Amino acid sequence: MKILPPLTLAFVLTLMTHLSPAEDLVLSLRSRADVDGAATTNVARWDPDKTALIICDMWDDHWCKSAARRVVEMAPALNETVKLARERGVFIIHAPSTCVDFYKETPQRSLAQKAALAKAPIPLSSSPRWGTSWCWPDPKFEGVLPIDDSDMGCSCEEAKCEIREAWTRQIKLIDLAEGDAMTDDGQEAFNLLTERGIENVILCGVHLNMCVLGRPFAIRQMVKLGKNVALMRDMTDTMYNPERPPGVDHFTGTDLVVGHVERFWCPSFTSKDLTGKPPFRFGEDDRKSSGE
């Protein structure tokens, strides 16, 4: 056997590294057969080249002071997780609803606008002929939400916050990188996924009982489109006021909604599967054990 000179060997090794397929994401996907039943976890291997991560409504501000504070707290950990996912080859979509015009001059916004029109297998919730861009709860798919958010869920303890137009852009703590896309539109999101042959979609951001389920790029729509969907459950929050039923603390309320998603829509996993670090936890979550 001919011995390769060291330089050639180095060249061959470099070539092999670049040609070898991207390493799969190994995700511990948790789901439930019953709302109150035990969770089961299955390990899934997802090809990062066929996976998108969608960041829902991580705005710069919120009408509820507590909700705004929690977004500021979660954003650095989310940004770090997104960075690692991006490095692995996952396609990142920033989706700060109603604020994408703020980004009209950016390459991330043009990437979404220029994606070729793809015909969805079902009418998308953003389709103008349906007159809505929201995927409402669907009794064919799900039971009622386990928390009462009919007061819109301000969790502030003293004065309750007044609903106002608060957000203008995505929070600055989350970086836009080359190759990322920016859209809040169901059709544009579907075009981007189709163009890249993406079958797996990770959802994160806020708020799980509202936008992360209902937006036209979010969980209900992606499940109905037949994607493999997973919620990154430590990178989300809810609008839930503990004074409302079922009268649990805010973070237990979030865990209940995670359970609802795991039962009716899609499995969940934690950022630990991407970062190797313990899952994110809010500082105000003083429960002894989290719903992890």
For binding to Zn ion (CB under 5 A), which residues are involved? Answer: 64-66, 154, 156, 161
**Nearest-approach distance from CB 156 to Zn ion, in angstroms:** 3
Nearest one of 58, 65, 63 to 97, comparing CA atoms: 58
Q: How far is the CB of 161 from Zn ion (least distance, A)?
A: 3
Of 29 and 147, which has the nearer Cβ to Zn ion?
147
Q: How far is the CB of 125 from Zn ion (least distance, A)?
A: 28
Please report the sign of the dihedral spanned by the C-alpha atoms of residue 272, residue 273, residue 274, residue 276: positive
Quote the least distance from Cβ 248 to Zn ion, whole Å. 18
CB of 63 to Zn ion, least distance (A): 7
Q: Which is nearer to Zn ion, 23 or 151 (CB)?
A: 151
- Closer CB to Zn ion, residue 223 or residue 257? 257
Smallest separation (angstroms) from Zn ion to the CB of 244: 13
Which CB, 30 or 70, lies closer to Zn ion?
70
User: Alpha-carbon distance 240 to 248, whole Å?
Assistant: 10
Closer by beta carbon to Zn ion, 66 or else 125: 66
- 28 is written with which tokens? 């511990």
Minimum distance of Zn ion from residue 81's CB (angstroms): 26
Decide whether 155 or 271 has the Cβ nearer to Zn ion. 155
CB nearer to Zn ion: pick between 221 and 241: 241
